[in-house]
Amino acid sequence: MVSEEQVWEALQQVADPEYPLSIVDLGMVYAVLVKNDDVQIKMTFTSIGCPAIDWIISDIREAVLAIKDVSKVDVDVVWSPAWTRERITQHGREILLYHGVT
């Protein structure tokens, strides 16, 4: 059986190309719902005009489908609430500070 924790771990491996962080540390993922072998992810992007949206969604699907027993991944992109820098995790803030990104 697929667990929510497994999905969050897989999402931790998906990076946003604009930042040296995962989409989880950026706070882009709002919710994960697992029902049997189906996974639904509710998320946003750092901006509506993000040129990497399709690429990131593809990376999400690939990472989550790699989990044993996952057969379907739906990514629901929402724009409300809007992403803000305040959503970045403490771990993410430390990484950005280390890379000189403020």
Please name the residue ranges forming H helices in 1-102. 4-11, 53-65, 90-98
* pLDDT higher than 90, residue 41: yes
Whole-number average pLDDT of the chain:
95
Q: How confident is the model at residue 89 (pLDDT cuts 50, 70, 90)?
A: very high
Q: What pTM did the predictor assign?
A: 0.93
The CA distance from 76 to 57, in Å, is: 10
Fold assignment, 4-96: GMP Synthetase; Chain A, domain 3 (3.30.300)
Q: How confident is the model at residue 20 (pLDDT cuts 50, 70, 90)?
A: confident
pLDDT above 70 as % of the chain: 99
Q: How confident is the model at residue 60 (pLDDT cuts 50, 70, 90)?
A: very high
Per this entry, what is the length of the chain? 102
Mean pLDDT of 8-33: 96
Query: Taking the domains of the chain in order of start, what are their residue ranges?
Result: 4-96
CB 37 within 8 A of CB 71: yes
